[in-house]
């Protein structure tokens, strides 16, 4: 069955050779819209880029080569697209890759091994997909992994421990799943974690504090949840934060300023919201930004240019 809305995200804001300052970006969403909002680190001030996505679309995914460029891929404009837009962090200018995804898809997820390659996985192409496309950051060329997700699914999300491994979690595979697949960046081999999400759910968001832990937040279990699950990268063990999102919601997006804080933005609570929740990585405490997205929207994507590892 087609996803109830889409997944976005992505979302990992990759770590890497970021400059003295960085920023996170939330792009697209239902409407659909082409809007890209930028949140400058560390002030969390918001601006909206003069140049948005190359087309208005929802249910896309975002990932980043931190210090260099961010990518928003796939989604639905009313029909599924394979488009991948690239935003150069030096001036936020946009180009569209000559080679897009291997198939038009919505409800996909994305994550990145910053400095090396980015990955778009899963989604709805007219059926659930297990495909994982890999984009080499040296030339933006695309290959498709021989081993995809462990099950075909949409409404999936992703995050990554840059330099080590990327994770695709949750989704809709005829029923909602708690599965978390791990791809080792050394050889792109896949394993499936013995401990998955704390509940089977779709339309969840992911982000990561590279080198330390990854987080999956929100989603739909049959009803919206505010749950945030944390996976320690040292042993892939899962805990669930005592403080979840500020509201139960699905179709949100996640990104992170690795080493400092992670952000979950937008989503659907029964209506679309502009809320951006921030989790401080020092103690996992949550605050809600006074300035949210520039408009209420769900099925949004996110990525980030981290300040530092």
Please check whether residue 14 lies inside any domain of the structure: no
Q: Global pTM?
A: 0.93
In the sheet where 301-305 sits, what is the strand order?
45-48, 36-41, 22-27, 301-305
Please check whether residue 3 lies inside any domain of the structure: no
Please write the tens of the pLDDT for every residue from 216-247.
Answer: 999 999 999 999 999 999 999 999 999 999 99
Rounded CA separation 91/104 (Å): 28
Range of the domain at 253: 22-305
Please check whether residue 111 lies inside any domain of the structure: yes
Closest of 174, 227, 233 to residue 12, by C-alpha: 233
Q: Is 138 left (phi over 0), alpha (psi -120 to 50) or beta?
A: alpha
170 near 183, Cβ under 8 Å? Answer: no
The CB density around residue 47, as the number of other CB atoms within 10 Å, is 13
SS3 sequence of 22-74: EEEEEECCCCCCCCEEEEEECCCEEEECCCCCCCCCECCEEEEECCCEEEEEC
Q: How many domains does one find in the chain? A: 1
Please check whether residue 17 lies inside any domain of the structure: no
Closest of 78, 68, 66, 61 to residue 26, by C-alpha: 61
> What CATH number corresponds to the domain at position 266?
2.120.10.80
157 near 216, Cβ under 8 Å? Answer: yes
Q: How many CA atoms lie within 13 A of 99 on its CB side?
A: 12
Tokens of 170: 């949750």
Please check whether residue 287 lies inside any domain of the structure: yes
Rounded CA separation 58/239 (Å): 31
Please check whether residue 125 lies inside any domain of the structure: yes
Tokens of 49: 């880029």
Tokens of 105: 């898809």
Rounded CA separation 8/167 (Å): 14
Please write the tens of the pLDDT for every residue from 261-288.
Answer: 999 999 999 999 999 999 999 999 999 9
Query: What tens-digit pLDDT sequence spans the chain (309 residues)?
Result: 333 333 333 333 333 333 347 999 999 999 999 999 999 999 999 999 999 999 999 999 999 999 999 999 999 999 999 999 999 999 999 999 999 999 999 999 999 999 999 999 999 999 999 999 999 999 999 999 999 999 999 999 999 999 999 999 999 999 999 999 999 999 999 999 999 999 999 999 999 999 999 999 999 999 999 999 999 999 999 999 999 999 999 999 999 999 999 999 999 999 999 999 999 999 999 999 999 999 999 999 999 998 653
Please check whether residue 222 lies inside any domain of the structure: yes
Rounded CA separation 299/278 (Å): 19
pLDDT value at position 97?
A: 98
- SS3 label, residue 29: coil
Instruction: Please state the separation of Cα 52 from the chain's center in Å.
Output: 18
Rounded CA separation 60/101 (Å): 11
Rounded CA separation 110/255 (Å): 11
Please check whether residue 13 lies inside any domain of the structure: no
Rounded CA separation 83/98 (Å): 9
- SS3 label, residue 15: coil
Element (H, E) at 174: none
């Amino acid at each position: 069955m087609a996803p109830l809305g889409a997944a976005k995200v992505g979302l990992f804001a990759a770590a890497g050779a970021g400059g003295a300052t960085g920023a996170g970006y939330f792009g697209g969403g239902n409407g659909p819209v082409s809007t890209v909002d930028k949140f400058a680190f560390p002030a969390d001030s918001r601006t909206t880029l003069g140049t948005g996505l190359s087309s208005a679309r929802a249910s896309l995914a975002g990932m980043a080569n931190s210090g260099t460029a961010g990518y928003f891929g796939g989604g639905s404009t009313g029909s599924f697209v394979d488009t991948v837009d690239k935003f150069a962090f030096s001036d936020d200018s946009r180009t569209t890759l000559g080679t897009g995804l291997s198939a038009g898809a919505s409800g996909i997820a994305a994550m990145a091994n910053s400095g090396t390659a980015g990955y778009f996985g899963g989604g709805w192409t007219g059926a659930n997909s297990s495909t994982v496309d890999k984009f080499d950051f040296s030339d933006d060329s695309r290959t498709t992994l021989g081993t995809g997700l462990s099950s075909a699914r949409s409404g999936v999300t992703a995050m990554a421990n840059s330099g080590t491994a990327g994770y695709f979690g949750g989704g809709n595979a005829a029923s909602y799943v708690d599965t978390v697949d791990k791809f080792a960046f050394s050889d792109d081999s896949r394993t499936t974690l013995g401990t998955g999400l704390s509940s089977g759910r779709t339309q969840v968001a992911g982000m990561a504090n590279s080198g330390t832990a990854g987080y999956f937040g929100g989603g739909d279990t049959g009803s919206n949840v505010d749950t945030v699950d944390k996976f320690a990268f040292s042993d892939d063990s899962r805990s669930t934060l005592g403080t979840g999102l500020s509201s139960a919601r699905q179709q949100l997006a996640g990104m992170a300023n690795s080493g400092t804080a992670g952000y979950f933005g937008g989503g659907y609570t029964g209506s679309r919201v502009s809320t951006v929740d921030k989790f401080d990585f020092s103690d996992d405490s949550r605050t809600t930004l006074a300035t949210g997205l520039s408009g209420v929207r769900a099925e949004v994507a996110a990525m980030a240019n981290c300040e530092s590892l």
